Amino acid sequence: MILASGSPRRQEILKEVGFNFKVVVPEIEEVSKEEEPVKKILDISRKKATSVAEKCTNEYVLSADTVVVVDNKILGKPKNVEEAREYLSLLSGREHEVITAYTFMSIEKNIFLSDYSVSKVKFYKLDEETINWYIETEEYKDKAGAYGIQGKGRLLVENINGDFFSIMGFPVASFVNKLKEIGVDINEINKL
């Protein structure tokens, strides 16, 4: 299988449950004309998978994308420290959604599966000292919403309602169950 994502978190999640894969980072601009957050992230996930699958038609390709949504505004990966600070201040003391969409496909086998997971995360009220401390860890870099729940960012989180691994970057249990629905045996995941 090819993982069409450079995310170390997705790689870790998939390796831990036994998937064998090679990483091919899609060379596309991650944009969509869709406005609604779920449609937008599904569209980007599909574009990532398709861009790699068209070059590797006999392979299974898996892509994913994660965003944080608050007030119907998508918070992707912060471009700089200022944007990270803005995101963390916006999330402070509030609940937000984390949406992870994924696409699994094989052109040769005519397989196409695309789905998403929505989880809710509530942050503690963050004072300036806490935000500064977290920014200084540099953990915000390359993270949707400027935090990583699996790292030091867990100290910002009051509670979650949903799939922890989806918040981390990939809803692996849901994905495996969807694979079963399309006839892929769980015992075969290490052979994909």
Kindly give the confidence (pLDDT) of every residue in the chain, 192 residues in length, as a single tens digit, with 9 standing for 90 and above: 999 999 999 999 999 998 999 999 999 998 999 999 999 999 999 999 999 999 999 999 999 999 999 998 999 899 999 999 999 999 999 999 999 999 999 999 999 999 999 999 999 999 999 999 999 999 999 899 999 999 999 999 999 999 999 999 999 999 999 999 988 877 776 666
| pLDDT reported for residue 3 | 97
| pLDDT reported for residue 39 | 96
* Closest of 157, 100, 149, 99 to residue 126, by C-alpha: 157
Q: Report the SS3 class of residue 143.
A: coil
Q: Find out whether 91 and 67 touch, Cβ atoms under 8 Å.
A: no
* Closest of 65, 69, 68 to residue 29, by C-alpha: 65
| pLDDT reported for residue 185 | 77
**How many Cβ atoms sit within 10 Å of the Cβ of residue 120?**
13
Q: Find out whether 160 and 109 touch, Cβ atoms under 8 Å.
A: no
- Give the catalytic positions in this structure: 65
| pLDDT reported for residue 192 | 66
| pLDDT reported for residue 188 | 72
